[in-house]
Amino acid sequence: MSKVLVIGGGIAGYCAAMAARREGADVTVVARAPGATALYAGAMEVIDDLDAVLKRQPHHPITRLGLDSVRLATELDTAIHALQLALEKEGLKLAGAWRTVGLYADIHGLARPGNLVPASVAGGELHALSGKRVAVIGVKEVGDYDAASTAQALKELHGIEAFPEEVSIPDLPEAASVTDLYGRRAPLPSRIRSNAIAYPPGFTNLPQEGFELLASPPSPHGWRLQQAIAHSTVRADISSFETAHRRLISAKSGERTFRADAFVLASGRHIGGGIAGGRLAVEPLLKLGVFHDGSPVAHMGTRLQHMQYLDPAAELRGGLATDRSLHPLDGGGQVAFENLYTAGAVLGGYDYSGPCGFGVPILTGWLAGRLAAKQQ
């Protein structure tokens, strides 16, 4: 049985571990802390237009896999089905499909697209709310969320008949915030005047007609997802590796050594810690190559720093690049280690908070885990 070490406890590491275990590998996942996965707003974006990505974005991690759209779609079907089953077992049911997109409002009433959402969010799909009367629950003691302005925004921006409905939860701490609602039973409005009820995120036991709004960080949706995927994760901060002949032998965290036959690096981007910013973006663990639109950032001089101010979204596209088997490249464009694979937001060439926010981690995690288990 081959041994696989996955470095990263976010959605990419989780999908890698799932796939490697399916191939019969003995998998250990290590993570030092929650990363960007724990902050996601509650609507997973998988991919908006697969063919357009393949045609127009040569450095996108999905294009770099060198697979045609039919094969990619099949892999996404399998990976997402496995993910949905696994999360459901952990008590987190996801609704939707990667081929369909819905629009969901956040706590300020602004709409955000999503392919997959928690079942508790699904009832708030904006098109499905048209023609309904929506009560937006406000909590008197909570200071950082205003149900009246959310209801106003739902009306003005999306044409939904929404109105605020204030409740009181007297045992909340003084100067309570939305995060203090986490894990509490959903209060019911005093009068039933609506056929849909929008709740700020975090409550449990919603009534049948209730749904949760999307969050801004810190996000209850992200926290629930992080808890669902963190069960078998070992807490460890990997700081160095033992290597020999372009292979990794073990990873070290303090006094602990994790030996494996293959390794998956799913260490996230700036929030996870997989890429360190500064004058020059670097991959801190193995000094792998960091690329921006196909060019090593080390050769870009100050151009990338200027971009930080001119176009931060473009600047944030910098990250690792891989060959077709998800082996990360070194600064010279060569495969760095034969038994190292990489997945998720640590990969460059796409906007990780954009339309592939979850699609890249899920798909590359799934494929990297499988490749690592087979060492292909």
Ligand X SMILES: Cc1cc2nc3c(=O)[nH]c(=O)nc-3n(C[C@H](O)[C@H](O)[C@H](O)COP(=O)(O)OP(=O)(O)OC[C@H]3O[C@@H](n4cnc5c(N)ncnc54)[C@H](O)[C@@H]3O)c2cc1C
Q: Side by side, which strands form the sheet with 262-265?
A: 233-235, 26-31, 3-7, 262-265, 340-342
| Residue among 36 and 198 whose Cβ is closer to ligand X | 36
Return d(Cα 249, Cα 206) in angstroms, integer.
49
The closest alpha carbon to 42, from 88, 100, 95, belongs to 95
Instruction: For the CB of residue 84, give the shortest distance to ligand X in the complex, in Å.
Output: 15
Residue 366 CA, distance from chain mean position: 14
Would you give the DSSP letter of residue 350? S
104 CB-side CA count, 13 A: 33
Return d(Cα 318, Cα 129) in angstroms, integer.
39
- The CA radius of gyration of the chain, in Å to the nearest whole number, is 22
Region 200-239 residues binding ligand X, contact defined as CB under 6 A: 217, 237-238
The strand pairing partners of 265, in sequence order, are 7, 342
Contact pick of 5, 12, 147, 275 for ligand X (by CB under 6 A): 12
Q: Which helix (H) or strand (E) holds 259?
A: strand 256-259
Return d(Cα 201, Cα 215) in angstroms, integer.
6
Residue 118 makes contact with ligand X by CB under 6 A: no
Q: What SS3 class is residue 20? A: helix
| Residue among 135 and 321 whose Cβ is closer to ligand X | 321
| Residue among 9 and 138 whose Cβ is closer to ligand X | 9
Residue 267 makes contact with ligand X by CB under 6 A: yes
Residue 266 makes contact with ligand X by CB under 6 A: yes
Residue 120 makes contact with ligand X by CB under 6 A: no
C-alpha torsion 17→22→24→28, nearest 10: 10
| Residue among 152 and 339 whose Cβ is closer to ligand X | 339
| Phi, psi of 351, deg, nearest 5 | -90, 110
Residue 31 makes contact with ligand X by CB under 6 A: yes
Contact pick of 5, 18, 27, 43 for ligand X (by CB under 6 A): 43
Instruction: For the CB of residue 71, give the shortest distance to ligand X in the complex, in Å.
Output: 22
- For 54: left if phi > 0, alpha if psi spans -120 to 50, otherwise beta; the answer is alpha
Of 18-26, 43-51, 203-211, 332-340, which part binds ligand X (CB under 6 A)? 43-51
Number of residues binding to ligand X, judged by CB under 6 A: 39
**Binding map of ligand X across residues 284-303, x = CB under 6 A, - = no contact:** -x------------------
Q: What SS3 class is residue 250? A: strand
Residue 258 makes contact with ligand X by CB under 6 A: no
| Residue among 43 and 178 whose Cβ is closer to ligand X | 43
Instruction: For the CB of residue 165, give the shortest distance to ligand X in the complex, in Å.
Output: 26
Residue 45 makes contact with ligand X by CB under 6 A: yes
| Phi, psi of 22, deg, nearest 5 | -60, -30
Q: What SS3 class is residue 376? A: coil
C-alpha torsion 17→20→25→31, nearest 10: -20
Of 10-18, 58-66, 299-307, 315-323, which part binds ligand X (CB under 6 A)? 10-18
Residue 358 makes contact with ligand X by CB under 6 A: yes
Contact pick of 102, 124, 274, 319 for ligand X (by CB under 6 A): 274
| Residue among 45 and 165 whose Cβ is closer to ligand X | 45
Region 86-105 residues binding ligand X, contact defined as CB under 6 A: none
Instruction: For the CB of residue 162, give the shortest distance to ligand X in the complex, in Å.
Output: 22
The strand pairing partners of 4, in sequence order, are 27, 262
Instruction: For the CB of residue 154, give the shortest distance to ligand X in the complex, in Å.
Output: 19
Instruction: For the CB of residue 305, give the shortest distance to ligand X in the complex, in Å.
Output: 21
Residues lying near ligand X in the complex (CB under 6 A) are found at 7-13, 30-37, 39-41, 43-45, 217, 237-238, 266-268, 271-274, 285, 344-345, 352-353, 357-358, 361
